[in-house]
A and B are shown apart, each in its own frame.
Chain A
């Protein structure tokens, strides 16, 4: 009603002024003026009608809410009237706020949100601490003792990944499985979608073959039918009864826990080492602390148990302890630094956005000085003006924030899709209440930040001077304010550019790291024999694998093939314990030495391009009937033999059939990744011939062995399919899995770094762009302001180069000051990135100086355009301008 009345009043005011105008016109005509002159004179006398209406409306008064509505309307009108300014300001803000929202939503999802389990703070990861490893795997007997004897845990579970082949339900398929102890789901507090989880005791060795399946598998292979419970699925040829379905929402996103389709009781693993107390079989645990128990108490508890176990079983448990970390810390500690650096980076981008908008507002507020002065003259108070200007900037920031939110919602999803799978908890990233709150606060803070300075300055307009100067006058203060903002902008942009530069240099350094093998044109995949082979003899499996090897070798375009078991460079790792035969046999396994272990065939060096340094590599004759031989890498040779010649020496490797003669030395391969390998403690590498695998191990390899092959570059596009059909042609039960080129494996290992560099790079370039726009705007503005002065100088004989130099030096003064400040800031700030860098120091002089030069150069370019314009000032025009 009130607004309606207001609209009427507005119309009346229009009419009132209109009638005034008409009467004034008529008077003039009656006094003899021509129609045109009368109209013009009357309009001139009336003055700025919009402004009069505006001030008159203010006299109507009204509630503060109404005044706010009035301010908003006026602000909107002002913004709509300057579409160029508004668009630039809104887009700048949307970019800044959007980027912040996106990164914050990631930080929020990954670091701040609690884990999706009841009482997540009670959950800890469990590992055995060993002399070589702080977080080694837990053996089943030790786990059972921990579980039985502790007083601080309400539950404890452990698990290990495994690959199984599903047959009898359509196409054979390899599935990710996990051997778990019965308590895993109850410890986490996850209830099955259907059926039940394993009951205590069902995980014992020799228990009935039962399985839990994922919702995904249930839908894919069992038609999402409730009658799936009690049905049998054939995994590696054994029939498992399905007792429950685990909801798809369950993801224990510890890298290796990804998309698991089957959970099997640990006792179903037919590994003969399972009941062995000293075995390291890759089991890691999760525990739930009793309410009120601190992690220190739990550590003390398990430490005491470990000590008593070490006393009881000195052979296996001497030096064995327990390590635990809060589950969440364990999941996210790798990305913490990265996320905070990114958050800092977008914060800088936002600051620059705000500075730019503040600059725009300052430049505009000088154009609007006359408007402010007149409004003041007409009785608008200063508080009123400040409020009006703040309303305008808040309007801008709100529109920018809204747009930014949309950008973020879209951008986060887009970015996460491209993300290396390595980001833990990526699925939990989204816009929730906390993100919205963050965005609102940031948006309002922006509005105040970039609005307040121009508003206060605009309101302090000196009416007398402004009107006298015809609105063109300018105080040096404003110029200084703009200069300070540009300097700040340059400094911020430089810090970001340097960070991005350091990441780029790290990546470049990594690409130049020699991985120790030639990754080009190498294909890696897995082959599983048909389930009927699970009861085959070791010789039967050897024959079948030889056949696979022959079939693949015969594929056109394939130049060399090697079966591979154990560790894969940059892929999974596998270790063997050993001792040197000429030295005394260690009393316990913990005193044995350890090496990365590769089980390969004679063509392995040809496939991988690993150089043979001394001696010889395996041949086809190093088979199951020949004496056992081994090859070591140069790290192994240096570490365990020092100055001695290893060739001809013998080592004993219990898990690989005992004593073997060292026959050759090959180059070291960066198993742990291009970046990490040099700093890892376990680097010695041991190669043994595939066919000399002990029978028990050979029998285990039927359901999945690795294959590496080198192909001719010309065959790159087709070799994968040709090999697949060759494998399938052996029998329909033969399965080919996980095909990847070695180049892909290397690229994936750098994904996280590349992603963070990409993001930092994008932020840095946005910052650069904004800063360049900023300095361009300010210098253009300066030129505009000094047109007259420049005109006079030219009239007095200044040549173009002089003018150019004068303007450029103004711009470059600001730039260089900004660069200097940014340089110092970066020196202090890049330290936090230390863990993200490789092969480059946090104060790398090349990056620092190169980037500083780049910024100075680009800024000079931005100043050159208006400077060039200044040289073209026509002195006559400039002077008449007044």
Chain B
């Protein structure tokens, strides 16, 4: 029971990292902006829990994949804005290819199963 649960967290974590990095490829965002962007671009399917988002942001920052600065928002509010670093760009590429590899593999498996069942 325990191991299954741990796997799930890891999967979520890895995916969330990828989503954050991808979002920041389009330009700097604050935390709330990132969560809204992910939500919008996934057509409301993926809702990022704040409790996962901020730990992930701070972890990525510590790994120097993203960097943060305090800026003023359009509403004159001080916000912490994250941007992708060069190192982060490289990480994004490798994460992305890994993801594509995995999702292709999964798709392959699913398609094979579909073919098998129709055959």
Contact = CB atoms under 8 A, between A and B. Distances in A.
Contact of B55 (A15, A48, A378, A460): A378
B64 interface: no
Contacts of A58: 55
A55 B55 contact: yes
Contacts of A55: 51, 55
B80 A59 contact: no
A55 B54 CA distance: 9
Interface stretch (A19-27, A98-106, A134-142, A576-584): A19-27
Interface stretch (B71-79, B84-92, B97-105): B71-79
B114 to A, nearest CB: 30
A217 B36 CA distance: 91
Contact of A19 (B5, B49, B55, B80): B80
A52 interface: yes
Name, among A26, A59, A460, the residue most crowded by chain B CB atoms within 10 Å (CB to CB): A59
Contacts of A56: 54-55, 58
Interface residues of A, number: 33
Interface in B1-27: 1-2, 5, 9, 13
Contacts of B56: 59
B50 interface: yes
A19 B78 contact: yes
B5 A463 contact: yes
A17 interface: yes
Contacts of A22: 77
Interface residues of B, number: 27
Interface string B37-61: 0000000000001111011101100
Contact of A59 (B62, B75, B77): B62
A24 B77 CA distance: 13
A51 interface: yes
Contact of B9 (A48, A52, A377, A462): A377
B28 interface: no
A47 B54 CA distance: 12
Contacts of A17: 50, 54
Given A19-B77, A379-B13, A464 B51 contact: no
A464 B80 contact: no
Given A16-B31, A19-B32, A464-B5, A47 B51 contact: yes
B50 A20 contact: yes
A12 B81 CA distance: 12
A26 B77 CA distance: 12
Nearest to B60: A59
A376 B12 CA distance: 13
Most chain B CB atoms below 10 A, which of A17, A22, A56: A56
B30 interface: yes
Given A12-B80, A19-B80, A379 B30 contact: no
Given A20-B32, A22-B77, A61 B62 contact: yes
Given A47-B51, A374-B51, A379-B55, A19 B30 contact: yes
B50 A60 contact: no
A513 interface: no
A789 B92 CA distance: 54
B54 A16 contact: yes
Contacts of B36: 27
Given A16-B54, A19-B78, A46-B50, A60 B62 contact: yes
A28 to B, nearest CB: 12
Interface in A449-490: 460, 462-464
A721 interface: no
A45 interface: yes
Nearest to A17: B54
A12 to B, nearest CB: 7
A46 B53 CA distance: 10
Contact of A52 (B30, B51, B70, B78): B51
Given A45-B50, A46-B50, A59 B59 contact: yes
Contacts of B9: 377, 379
A12 B70 CA distance: 9
A52 to B, nearest CB: 5
B32 A47 contact: no
B75 A26 contact: yes
A19 to B, nearest CB: 5
Given A17-B54, A23-B32, A47 B49 contact: yes
B68 to A, nearest CB: 9
Contacts of B77: 19, 22-23
B95 to A, nearest CB: 18
A15 B78 contact: yes
Contacts of B70: 12
A20 B48 CA distance: 13
Nearest to A19: B79
Given A52-B50, A378-B51, A462-B1, A59 B32 contact: no
Contacts of B55: 52, 55-56, 58-59, 378-379
Nearest to B70: A12
B84 to A, nearest CB: 18
Contacts of A52: 50-51, 54-55
A376 B9 CA distance: 9
Nearest to A26: B75
A469 to B, nearest CB: 14
A17 B58 CA distance: 12
Nearest to A46: B50
Contacts of B33: 23
Nearest to A53: B54
A377 B2 CA distance: 12
A20 B49 contact: no
Contacts of B51: 47-48, 51-52, 55, 374, 377-378
Residue from the set B1, B2, B30, B50 with the largest chain A CB neighbour count within 10 Å = B50
Nearest to A380: B55
A374 to B, nearest CB: 7
A459 to B, nearest CB: 10
Nearest to A464: B5
A152 to B, nearest CB: 71
A378 B12 CA distance: 10
A70 to B, nearest CB: 14
A46 to B, nearest CB: 5
A376 B6 CA distance: 9
Given A58-B55, A59-B58, A20 B1 contact: no
A24 B36 CA distance: 9
Contacts of A463: 5
Contacts of B1: 462, 464
B21 to A, nearest CB: 16
B13 A60 contact: no
Q: Which of A13, A462, A463 has the most CB of B within 10 A?
A: A463
B33 to A, nearest CB: 8
A463 B2 CA distance: 9
B80 A47 contact: no
B70 to A, nearest CB: 8
A568 B62 CA distance: 87
26 contacts: A13-B54, A15-B80, A16-B31, A17-B54, A19-B30, A19-B77, A19-B80, A23-B30, A23-B73, A27-B36, A45-B50, A46-B50, A47-B51, A51-B51, A52-B50, A52-B54, A56-B54, A58-B55, A59-B59, A60-B62, A61-B62, A376-B5, A378-B51, A379-B13, A379-B52, A462-B1
Interface of A: 12-13, 15-17, 19-20, 22-24, 26-27, 45-48, 51-52, 55-56, 58-61, 374, 376-379, 460, 462-464
Interface of B: 1-2, 5, 9, 13, 30-33, 36, 49-52, 54-56, 58-59, 62, 70, 73, 75, 77-80
Given A52-B51, A56-B54, A374-B51, 14 more contacts: A13-B54, A16-B30, A17-B50, A19-B32, A20-B32, A46-B50, A47-B49, A47-B50, A47-B51, A48-B51, A51-B51, A55-B51, A59-B62, A379-B55
Q: Which 10 A-B pairs have the closest CB atoms?
A: A59-B59, A59-B58, A23-B32, A16-B80, A20-B32, A56-B54, A56-B55, A52-B51, A55-B55, A19-B79
